[in-house]
């Protein structure tokens, strides 16, 4: 009998050992190191058909087989000194699209002890001819310059963030416009698009996540939380202080009270101030940030330093100067296409300055490219875009 009990106990322990267990993951304001000004580089995979992540505790998520389709960079700037947005932390360029019409704008976000959230936006005034839509030679659609603080607050994440946490909130985004259509007697008549975003967020899992690094090789496993988001978007359009007439809405392809449902998953980890990876529930693409793995080795500073390139745009074969926040002694500067392929690289030897000189290869064609600054260990420390023209 004792032998049977001993055998059962040994078998049970072996079964436990076969299934790894991960400690609980918690993210707080102090372990979400989002710098006020930094370059946020993210990789987009549109050709790997990523599967939806499993939910629950002690999960192992392996997305190391993703292949990069393009590399993008968001340049964040310190927004704390803008009196129009009290409580703003930083901002980035994020142009709106109103039925095909681009609206230049900067979006501001906040970061405090409660959570990380989007605060509002600044719109740069712009006007478009709509003759092709309305038929009037002088008809126009304009978006006046304005500072807009969102009504309500949507926490992208809340602090502290733990497994099985759930929260719901909503905000209203207002986009003012001016409409001139002679046939309807409208002359710079003020209007407004009100977009209500309602989010239901839940931390549905924790475990280990593996993604590709900058070279396409698997990263080490990262302890992460998995957040599931269900979003409802409803649009309401007003003109002259009243709901816009259906005939005008139809001309712009709009429907009063139109509702769109979205669902997606997002991975977060301690000591990294951005999403590690996100997967759209109804679309075939994933977005991931290889630099998230840099914190696994123990480094707590994962934000890329701010860099600038001059001149930019530039012609192929021309000299450019890369300026960095701190002196760079040794390392590598390399150029990649938007598919992540390395096209050119130059070593940095005993530079001892904040400026690096580099010649753009004469063989590069017109278009956008990505530059990366790597340190002596091969870690990416700076990222930006290079625009090559004739």
Question: What is the number of structural domains in the chain?
Answer: 2
Burial class of 204 by CB neighbour count within 10 A (0 to 12, 13 to 18, 19+): buried
Examine the domain organization and report whether 240 and 278 are in the same domain.
Answer: yes
Examine the domain organization and report whether 279 and 338 are in the same domain.
Answer: no
pLDDT the model gives residue 383: 81
Evaluate the omega torsion of the peptide bond into residue 313 and state whether it is cis, within 30 degrees of 0.
yes
| 332 is a domain residue | yes
| 230 is a domain residue | yes
Examine the domain organization and report whether 33 and 147 are in the same domain.
Answer: yes
| 168 is a domain residue | yes
Examine the domain organization and report whether 358 and 209 are in the same domain.
Answer: no
| 4 is a domain residue | no
| 263 is a domain residue | yes
pLDDT the model gives residue 319: 92
Buried residues in 228-247 as b, exposed as e (16+ CB within 10 A): bbebeeebbbbbeeeebeee
Tens digit of each residue's pLDDT, the chain (390 residues): 444 444 444 333 333 333 444 457 999 999 999 988 888 989 999 877 788 899 999 999 999 999 998 888 888 999 998 999 999 999 998 888 888 899 999 999 999 999 999 999 999 899 999 999 999 999 999 999 999 999 999 999 999 999 999 999 999 999 999 999 999 999 999 999 999 999 999 999 999 999 999 888 899 999 999 999 999 999 999 999 999 999 989 988 899 999 999 999 999 999 999 999 999 876 778 999 999 987 664 433 445 677 888 898 899 999 999 998 888 877 888 888 766 677 888 888 767 788 888 899 999 888 888 888 887 766 777 888 888 987
Residue numbers of the domain that contains 219: 29-295
Token pair belonging to 5: 């009990």
Examine the domain organization and report whether 143 and 178 are in the same domain.
Answer: yes
Contact in structure between 385 and 369 (CB atoms under 8 Å): yes
Residue with tokens 């997305």: 63
Examine the domain organization and report whether 379 and 267 are in the same domain.
Answer: no
| 80 is a domain residue | yes
Contacts of residue 317, defined as CB under 8 A and 6 or more positions apart, other chains included, come to: 359, 360, 361, 362
φ, ψ of residue 127 in degrees (nearest 5): -135, 145
Contact in structure between 190 and 240 (CB atoms under 8 Å): yes
CA dist., res. 172 & res. 152, Å (int): 7
Q: Among 295, 326, 350, where does a domain finish?
A: 295
pTM score of the predicted model: 0.74
| 267 is a domain residue | yes
Contact in structure between 44 and 20 (CB atoms under 8 Å): no
Token pair belonging to 308: 């600038």
Examine the domain organization and report whether 154 and 107 are in the same domain.
Answer: yes
Examine the domain organization and report whether 359 and 212 are in the same domain.
Answer: no
Examine the domain organization and report whether 283 and 378 are in the same domain.
Answer: no
Examine the domain organization and report whether 196 and 105 are in the same domain.
Answer: yes
Q: Among 262, 295, 328, where does a domain finish?
A: 295
Radius of gyration of the chain from Cα atoms? 25
pLDDT the model gives residue 343: 87
CA dist., res. 345 & res. 183, Å (int): 59
Residue with tokens 């968001």: 74
Examine the domain organization and report whether 131 and 252 are in the same domain.
Answer: yes
| 336 is a domain residue | yes
Examine the domain organization and report whether 112 and 206 are in the same domain.
Answer: yes
Contacts of residue 141, defined as CB under 8 A and 6 or more positions apart, other chains included, come to: 98, 101, 127, 128, 130, 177, 178, 179, 180
CATH of the domain at 385: 2.60.40.1220
pLDDT the model gives residue 303: 55
Angstrom distances, CA of residue 221 to CA of 62, 70, 98: 9, 23, 41
H, E, C per residue of the chain:
CHHHHHHHHHHHHHHHHHCCCCCCCCECHHHCCCCCCEEEEEEEECCCCCCCCCCEEEEEEECCCCCCCEEEEEEEEECCCCCCCCCCCEEEECCEEECCEEECEEEEEEECCCEEEEEEEEECCEEEECHHHHCCCCCEEEECCEEEECEECCEEEECCECCCCEEEEEEEEEEEEEEEEHHHCEEEEEEEEEEEEEEEEEEEEEEEEECECCCCCECCCEEEEEEEEEEEEEEEEEECCEECCHHHHHHCCCCCCCEEEEEEEEEECCCCCCCCEEEECCCCCEEECHHHHHHCCCCCCCCECCEEEECCCEECCCEEEEEEEEEECCEEEEEECCCCCEEEEEEECCCCEEEEEEECCCCCCCEEEEEEEECCCCCEEEEEEEEEEC
């Amino acid at each position: 009998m004792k032998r049977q009990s001993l055998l059962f106990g040994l078998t049970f322990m072996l079964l436990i050992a076969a299934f790894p267990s991960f400690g609980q993951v918690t993210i707080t304001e102090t372990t979400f190191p989002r710098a006020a000004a930094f370059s946020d580089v993210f990789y987009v995979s549109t050709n790997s058909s990523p599967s939806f992540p499993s939910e629950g505790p002690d999960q192992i998520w392996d997305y190391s087989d993703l292949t990069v389709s393009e590399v993008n960079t968001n340049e964040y700037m310190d927004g704390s000194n803008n009196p129009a947005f009290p409580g703003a932390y930083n901002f980035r360029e994020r142009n709106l699209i109103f039925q095909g019409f681009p609206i230049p704008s900067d979006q501001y976000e906040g970061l405090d002890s409660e959570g990380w959230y989007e605060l509002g936006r600044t719109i740069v005034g712009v006007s478009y001819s709509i003759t092709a839509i309305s038929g009037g030679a002088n008809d126009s659609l304009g978006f006046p310059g304005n500072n807009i603080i969102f009504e309500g607050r949507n926490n992208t994440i809340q602090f502290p963030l733990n497994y099985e946490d759930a929260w719901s909130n909503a905000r209203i985004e207002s986009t003012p416009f001016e409409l001139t259509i002679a046939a309807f007697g409208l002359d710079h008549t003020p209007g407004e698009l009100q977009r209500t975003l309602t989010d239901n967020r839940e931390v549905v899992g924790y475990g280990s996540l593996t993604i590709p690094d900058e070279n396409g090789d698997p990263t080490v496993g990262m302890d992460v939380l998995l957040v599931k988001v269900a979003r409802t978007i409803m649009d309401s359009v007003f003109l002259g202080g009243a709901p816009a007439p259906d005939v005008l809405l139809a001309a712009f392809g709009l429907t009063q009270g139109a509702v769109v449902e979205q669902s997606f998953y997002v991975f977060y980890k301690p000591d990294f101030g951005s999403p590690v990876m996100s997967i759209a529930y109804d679309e075939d693409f994933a977005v991931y940030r290889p630099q998230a793995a840099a914190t696994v080795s123990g480094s707590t500073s994962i934000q890329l330093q701010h860099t600038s390139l001059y001149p930019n745009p530039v012609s192929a074969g021309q000299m450019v100067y890369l300026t960095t926040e701190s002196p760079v002694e040794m390392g590598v500067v390399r150029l990649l296409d938007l598919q992540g392929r390395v096209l050119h690289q130059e070593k940095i030897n005993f530079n001892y300055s904040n400026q690096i000189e580099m010649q753009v290869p004469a063989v590069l064609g017109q278009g956008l490219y990505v530059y990366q600054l790597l340190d002596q260990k091969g870690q990416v420390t700076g990222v930006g875009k290079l625009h090559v023209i004739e």
